[in-house]
Chain A
């Protein structure tokens, strides 16, 4: 994944900001550093990074910063408002600390999001690259792909979890199955463009094998749109998981997820509105942070996509 073509994607040359490229060419910087520099100048990207860091820190350090067991019942501390009796975010109908529940919920959301993104990166690339590069598989693979994409995303995820049963693992599986076709399509689109490029033809002429061409010449250049897609996908995955568990189809209570905390808090909307508001805001921060990250990555890595989104 290095060399001058590693990061700057399949974009038309006239899209590139000229002065920046000259400047960079003169300084002979690595494309990674160049991209990083541009990202750090993108204000909305930095905002997204900030928002995501809050959730990431909370999720990673859950064991340290929320030592109260998120599932411990304490009926005499029911419905404490945020800040009351030392409960930062208050308590729910069972007297469980919402701080603990929301922080542990963050960990679970991140775990599910990362898992879905990782599965998409692997299988989306595999399917997309196969269809785009080996054209004789294209028709069959893309027909199935189109059919999978014809299902409304959440409905298919719900149907799959209905069949497999509600659990964290099945939610990851269902969301991956739903989103992999979308990722595969994006990878395929860039691979189709790249395989016709002259430098790929040159590699073929030089006797490079399929594996080498894919690994060294095509996939590194197809990374930019994939990375952009994956950052948005992370947002969808977190949001869809929350929706599934709000409907009772995600991780099984008492395991706290933002979705099932809100589902339980629904009954106490009037007496204890903080039970739904706090996980709701956490969810919003995550999704917004990831969307901003995705926008920033798209602007910097792949300006052509700006119109389509």
Chain B
């Protein structure tokens, strides 16, 4: 068990090192003078020089790199040009908003995606199955911002049930949070729901074909018990690995969803940073979001090892 934990953490270290190196290198790819790109055409020579100083662009490459890693160790990711605040500080305020939204989307995905996948598998080749799979196909094909716009049009503009956008923090007013987060979470979740329904269906079908299922049925156990206890628990194991992918998709999707619904999360922060050429913010935000996802994947690996004893044996 501890071997698995250690191994996934050790495996993540080179990934994070290279991720941070790529993130560092990215800002050096700006064609021409980054200071000029940030400051715009109206900047004076002094302003440009000041900016170069602030960003450390005048120093040799190796020194810049050493400073970047030195900063990372101390939790210093630089300062946002647009907001004048510490990148880490801003991120720590914005990331929870995105995580809350992603978790809401994850719950919707798990509940609706799993149930529809299981039902489709149990009713294989019936109308129910086909209908579910058509819905799943639509789910993975509708762009989330299009779905978001259609929902705004239907639920906010025509029916007036939900606000068109904005955000109320969960701890201030849970009902308000639900009202502002349901449409974004749904538009985020649809893609993952479709994916999960398809995976659950095929995994369930695979498991239901196994001999031990037939044995369980043959010894007279009720179908419901066999499905839930024998089939589902085993089908869930491969499905856990998908959770990491689902969270990654939610965070990616949040970029456009948050801009669409004016939710002050990571996605909106990064979009604004990108549009305003706030490179330290882009760099820091990208790195922290990726680091967060790498951690999620470590947890998924560990959960996988806990759920499936075979993994523990094979790896140790």
Chain A interface (Cβ < 8 Å from any Cβ of B):
143-144, 146-148, 150-156, 158-165, 235, 239, 242-243, 246-249, 262, 266, 269-270, 273, 276-277, 280, 283-284, 287-288, 291-292, 306-307, 309
Contacts and interface: CB of A to CB of B under 8 A. Distances in A.
B180 interface: no
Nearest to B142: A284
A280 B141 contact: no
Contacts of A154: 252-253, 255-256
Contacts of A280: 143, 146, 149-150
Contacts, number: 135
Nearest to A51: B141
Contact of A163 (B27, B146, B260, B294): B27
A239 B143 contact: yes
Contacts of B253: 154
Nearest to A248: B275
Interface residues of B, number: 54
A152 B141 contact: no
A151 B19 CA distance: 8
Contact of B22 (A148, A153, A161, A288): A148
A246 B256 contact: yes
Given A249-B274, A283-B143, A291-B141, A269 B152 contact: yes
Contacts of A165: 31
Contact of A287 (B141, B255, B260): B141
A165 B279 CA distance: 12
Contact of A156 (B16, B27, B203, B286): B286
Given A152-B248, A288-B137, 10 more contacts: A156-B286, A158-B255, A159-B282, A159-B286, A164-B31, A248-B275, A249-B275, A280-B146, A284-B142, A307-B206
Nearest to B277: A162
B258 to A, nearest CB: 11
Interface in B259-316: 259-260, 270-271, 273-275, 277, 279, 282-283, 286, 289-290, 293-294, 297
A188 to B, nearest CB: 17
Contacts of B286: 151, 155-156, 159
29 contacts: A143-B15, A143-B18, A147-B14, A148-B22, A150-B290, A151-B19, A152-B249, A152-B251, A152-B252, A158-B270, A164-B31, A235-B141, A243-B145, A247-B255, A247-B275, A249-B274, A262-B149, A276-B146, A280-B150, A284-B142, A284-B143, A284-B146, A287-B140, A287-B141, A287-B142, A287-B143, A291-B141, A307-B202, A309-B202
A239 to B, nearest CB: 6
Interface in B97-148: 137-138, 140-143, 145-146
Nearest to B251: A152
Nearest to A149: B15
Interface string B188-218: 0000000000110011001000000000000
Q: Which of A150, A152, A248, A280 gathers the greatest number of chain B CB atoms within 10 Å?
A: A152
Given A158-B270, A163-B26, A291-B140, A146 B15 contact: yes
Which of A162, A235, A266, A309 gathers the greatest number of chain B CB atoms within 10 Å?
Answer: A162
B153 interface: yes
Contacts of B22: 147-148, 151
Given A242-B143, A280-B146, A150 B15 contact: yes
A108 to B, nearest CB: 16
A307 B199 CA distance: 7
A175 to B, nearest CB: 13
B45 interface: no
Interface string B158-175: 000000000000000000
A262 B256 CA distance: 13
Given A159-B26, A306-B202, A284 B141 contact: yes
Contact of A309 (B143, B199, B238): B199
Contacts of B198: 309
B30 interface: yes
B289 A152 contact: yes
> 7 closest A-B pairs (Cβ-Cβ)?
A147-B18, A288-B141, A280-B146, A162-B274, A152-B252, A154-B252, A287-B141
B246 to A, nearest CB: 12
Contacts of A153: 252
B209 to A, nearest CB: 12
A9 to B, nearest CB: 19
B62 interface: no
B29 interface: yes
A284 B141 CA distance: 6
Given A143-B14, A150-B290, A266-B149, A159 B274 contact: yes
B82 interface: no
A164 B28 CA distance: 10
Interface string B240-252: 0000000011011
Nearest to B292: A152
B225 interface: no
Contacts of A158: 255, 270-271, 274
